[in-house]
Amino acid sequence: ANIVQDVRLKGGMWGAYDIARIMRDTEWRPCPGKEAFHAYMDWIAANEN
């Protein structure tokens, strides 16, 4: 796919994050996107008020 993106936007919230260090130094592992999304939606519902 041809993606047009401002080349200045490559750090911070615009860039990808390397998780190799946290995976090496801890037992943390990312959960699948669908699972994370549903957990987030559950959190929102539980914390609305």
Model pLDDT for residues 1-49, shown as the tens digit of each residue? 677 777 787 777 766 778 899 999 999 999 999 999 999 999 999 999 8
pLDDT of residue 49: 80
Q: What are the residue ranges spanned by the domains of the chain? A: 12-46
Phi and psi torsions of 8, nearest 5°: -75, -20
How big, in percent rounded to 5, are the helix, strand and coil portions of the chain?
A: 45, 0, 55
Distance between CA atoms of 4 and 34, rounded to whole angstroms? Answer: 27
Q: For residues 18 and 30, what is the distance between their CA atoms, to the nearest angstrom? A: 12
Look at residue 32 in the predicted model and tell me its pLDDT.
95
CA-CA distance, 9 to 20, in Å (whole number)? 22
DSSP letter for 14, please. G
pLDDT at 14: 67
Amino acid at 1: A
